[in-house]
Structure 1
Amino acid sequence: MKPTRRTNLPAKANAAAGVRRIAPLPPSFDGTARFTYDGSFDGLLCVLLACWESRRWPEAIQSEDAAQGGLFSETRFVPSDEARARRVWEGMLKYMPAEARTNLYKTFLSESPERELLIFRYTQMAIEAGGQDISENFGNDTVRAVADITKQMFREKHRMEAFVRFEKTHDGLFHATIEPDYDVLPLIAEHFTKRYADQRWLIFDRRRRYGLYYDLERTDIVSFDAEAGQQGSNSAVSAAVLDEREPLFQSLWQTYFDHVNIPERRNIKLHRRHMPKRYWKYLTEKQPRERHFRPIDNKQRPAQ
């Protein structure tokens, strides 16, 4: 498809004039089509290619299992094809930097209700710009929305890398359960593969019913059946298979956490800002103590 160049005002000029930039509809596009796909990122890339091939601007792009039909528009299902998806993914580099392309993938992982249309509009704008970087054109609603989602994904990724707590099973597997707000498992895979390359581990996303498994050679995506994930809490599921020394390790970690705390400098509001309470149920240091912590009384008392 031959890109059409358009003259766009710089972001600063738009802001000064008080104009909200909305991606215009190309004259050659039909804006009454609705597309569905299998819910995968490859499937979404195939939808983008189908839109460009048929010259149809999508009114809606939805996963097939959550699609809602339009009253005056037709719905077309686009099957996923790895070769066609790779063609779109590699072709994006002609119109945007690699970082901007990665941000579109993060937008998909955010599970935002408008993520598909955001990705289509951003890509279409990049094509119309003729290869010029549009990632800093924050006067445009689409660019600003993608940038905001990228920031949220970065924060959630950073929190998961910090808040994952592993438990060791009797067969030497280290496992952890998480429930992030966004689908960040693909983003944290490289971090944990490099950091824990000498041990087998499994990180399971309880909300999305899949996990990452590292077997000392490679990291794979694994899924679990629905019944296995509904058996109570993380501790209840793993108690029968934990290593016999795991309770001792957890107790030592809790003791360390309690002793490095300075009661006089306690700031609950700041603590919850850096460690939101919704993550506490999977943090070892936040579990009930079998023995209550008592600070060591090692201060010298003044002589009478």
Structure 2
Amino acid sequence: MEKAKTLMYEGGFNGFLTVIFKSFKENLNVSDIQKQRDIQKGLFSETETVQLQSDKAKRVWDGIQKKDRTALKTIYFAYLSEKTGIEFLLYQYIHHMFFGEAKISSEAIKDVFLKLHQYAGMVAREKHRIEAIATFKDSQDQIHYTAVTPYHDVLPLLSRYYRSKFPGKEFLIYDNKRKYALFYNLLTISHISMEIPTDFFKTQSSSKPLKPLITKTVPYPFSRRANFKNSNQKAAV
């Protein structure tokens, strides 16, 4: 049997889906899947880094949708929980979806699914909590903005709600813990990986412009947008 491998990726949902594609295509003996920043080598595991390939990630996502559309939301929400070991749990679940009991029994997969369902529920509740407590200010350049510190990585799930709440308004939501922001400019939703000074959010008036701080924006990949609109689930973002 091939020696077990720990597969590493750069982080991000598309990176994770790329790992799934590679592991299935090459029939790898996977012992764990970890983000590069969190890597902890197993005693008997080799490690291999998998580079993001959006086309491969999309093939996995589309394949899951064909197998079980209702699983899309559970998989994505559970991933955003950031729970330790979440990638390997999702790998087991998706592998069972495609290959049955080849690596994990139907009985064992029930425990995996219960955990994923629990984690997805936690993320859904955190999404609603942030929507309820977030308070916005207006910057000098008329951008609604706020900073939040969610327990889970829920920013990718907030766009749809705030586009409806603030029609015709640009807005920015900053995650204090993860140091990135969700920015909507009326045309696109962008992911901003940067650190915004904390004193900016302490300003009581619109005395400061926000756009000069937005120096580098990255549009959300397909899997961070409204992927559930064609399924039985409502669009989440």
Q: Give unpaired runs (5+ residues) of structure 2.
A: 102-106, 209-237
Q: Say whether 1:127 aligns with 2:98.
A: yes
Aligned equivalent of 1:41: 13
Higher relative contact order (CA 8 A, sep 6+): 2
Asked if 1:188 corresponds to 2:155, the answer is no
**Residue type of the alignment partner of 1:120:** Y
Q: Does 1:89 align with 2:61?
A: yes
Structure 1 residue corresponding to 2:119, chosen from 142, 149, 171 = 149
Give, as a single letter, the amino acid of the residue that structure 2 aligns with 1:122: Y
Question: In 1, are the aligned partners of 2:148 and 2:175 still within 8 Å (CA)?
Answer: yes
The question of whether the paired residues in 1 share the 8 Å contact of 2:81 and 2:153 is answered with: yes
Q: Equivalent residues in 2 for 1:33-72 (5 A)?
A: 33-72=5-44
Structure 1: which 5+ runs fail to align?
Answer: 1-28, 131-136, 244-304
The aligned amino acid for 2:65 is: L
Per-residue deviation, 1:92? 1.2
**CA deviation after TM superposition for structure 1 residue 163, in Å:** 1.1
The TM-score with structure 2 as length reference comes to: 0.78
Tell me, yes or no, if the aligned pair for 2:7 and 2:19 is still in contact at 8 Å: yes
Counterpart contact for 1:209–1:223, Cα < 8 Å? yes
Give the letter for the 2:85 counterpart: E
TM-score w.r.t. length of structure 1: 0.62
Q: Does 1:197 align with 2:164?
A: no
Find the partner of 1:234 among 185, 194, 201.
201
Runs of 4+ in 1 over 3 A off after TM superposition: 231-234, 239-243
Give the match for residue 102 of structure 1.
73
Deviates more, 1:112-121 or 1:31-40: 31-40
Question: Aligned residues: percent identity?
Answer: 27
User: 1:141 deviation in Å?
Assistant: 0.9
Which structure has the greater CA radius of gyration? 1
Kindly report the root-mean-square deviation, in angstroms, between the aligned alpha carbons of the 2 structures. Answer: 2.3
Judge which range, 175-184 or 214-223, deviates more: 214-223
* Structure 1 segment 5-16 matched on structure 2, within 5 A: none
Q: Mean alpha-carbon deviation: is it higher for 192-201 or for 215-224?
A: 215-224
* Offset at residue 218 of structure 1 (A): 2.8
